[in-house]
Amino acid sequence: MNKILICLKRVVDYNVRIRVKPDGDGVVTDGVKMSINPFDEIALEEALRIREAGNAEEIVAVTIGSQDCQQQLRTGLAMGADRAILVESDTEIDPLAAARALHALVEKESPDLVILGKQAIDDDCNQTGQMLAAIWGRPQATFASKLELAGTTAKVTREVDAGLETIEVDLPAVVTSDLRLNEPRYVKLPDIMKAKKKPLENIAVSELLGDTEPQLNAVGWAPPAQRAKGILVDDVDGLIAALREKDLVT
């Protein structure tokens, strides 16, 4: 295999408590720790393991967003990616526009495999990988918990509602990673220093897409409703009475 393309997304770190802006126009990101989407980090780790096994020559990390996304690309380079591409956009890109932009890069880079997280933890859309495969006209294997390469095919174990499903797809293909695919490595300081010298290319999203008008628009943001305060009961009869008062039992 010659090349693997990895798609990364900048999101609020999963350890951060999300706060909605007072005007309901989005979530607070100023002064908030940002990280690589955890599912995308797993995708990059899988690509690194494939290369270490001698089954790939180059790993290219790609993200779409503002110049701030260079931080996450540098982290990807420190993990072990060979080079990075930032598709620069100052506006929010919806899943379909992201898939179209990634397809334009796929046409340019001609990777043998594209791996990305099954979903992003900010919008939970779970759409970009499937849309990319459809636009590209290539097979897809989503929710991968195991990936095995054999020549021009890939055998993927998927996590589905009924358990595990194993499928085989021809390469090139799109694979989306699930949580149990692997555990990403820690980035070491020497690798962070080396990453500063690795190539990072900037491409304006307008060079890849003629139209970036979003197909989805968020009209408002609101925090989850607070849970009602519980009540204490003395015995089973008191519990039944409380449930009847709320019309939960008859």
* Domains of the chain by start residue, with CATH: 3-223 (3.40.50.620)
Nearest to 142 by CA among 87, 62, 92, 161: 161
Residue at 35: amino acid letter? S
Q: What is the DSSP letter of 225?
A: P
- Number of C-beta neighbours around residue 233 at 10 A: 13
DSSP string, 162-195: TEEEEEEEESSEEEEE-GGG--PPPPPHHHHHHH
- Alpha carbon distance 47, 163 (integer Å): 25
Angle, alpha carbons 183-1-97 (nearest 5°): 70
Alpha helices in 18-59 (DSSP H): 38-52
Give the pLDDT of the chain (250 residues) as one tens digit per residue: 899 999 999 999 999 988 888 888 888 888 899 999 999 999 999 999 999 999 999 999 999 999 999 999 999 999 999 999 999 998 888 899 999 999 999 999 999 999 999 999 988 899 999 999 999 999 999 999 999 999 899 999 998 888 899 999 999 999 999 999 999 999 999 999 999 999 999 999 988 887 777 777 888 888 888 888 888 889 999 899 988 888 888 7
Asked whether the beta carbons of 97 and 210 are under 8 A apart, the reply is no
- Alpha carbon distance 52, 70 (integer Å): 25
Q: Which residues of 96-113 are buried (b: 16+ CB within 10 A; e: fewer)?
A: bbbbbbbbbbbeebebbb
Q: What share of the chain is helix, strand, coil (3-state, %, to 5)?
A: 30, 30, 40
